Amino acid sequence: MSETHYITLRVCITGRVQGVCYRAWTEEQATALGLNGWVRNHHDGSVEAIFSGLERRVEDMITACYQGPPSAQVDGVERHAFSEEVAPGFHTMPTV
């Protein structure tokens, strides 16, 4: 993994990831890693996030998503390529 290569990935997290502060935890962790992007709930009970930044930091964030906050029970984390523009900063978006 490169320390200077930037990547952007879309991640879908399933399991008991709503009602356990998963979005707030994700925003806190991603901000601490200096990532750009957003996180939001889906009506199907999953959480979706966009992580953009240095490759190693994005990979560290995705690894952390498998654990999540203390009350979460993560069943799966899917990663997908994402090529759209990502605004600076990390934000929580409305549920879709």
The catalytic residue among 23, 36, 56, 57 is 23
Q: Which is the catalytic residue, given 16, 36, 40, 41?
A: 41
- The candidate with the shortest Cα–Cα distance to 49, out of 7, 9, 89, 6, is 9
The CATH fold of domain 19-84: Alpha-Beta Plaits (3.30.70)
36 is a catalytic site residue = no
In this structure, what DSSP letter does residue 61 have?
H
- Write out pLDDT tens, residues 44-64: 999 999 999 999 999 999 999
The pLDDT of residue 3 is 65
The whole model's pTM is what? 0.93
Residue 41 designated active-site: yes
Whole-number percent of the chain with pLDDT over 70 = 97
Q: What are the structural domain ranges in the chain?
A: 19-84
Task: Specify which residues 51 forms β-bridges with.
Answer: 9, 37
H-state helical runs in the chain: 22-32, 55-65
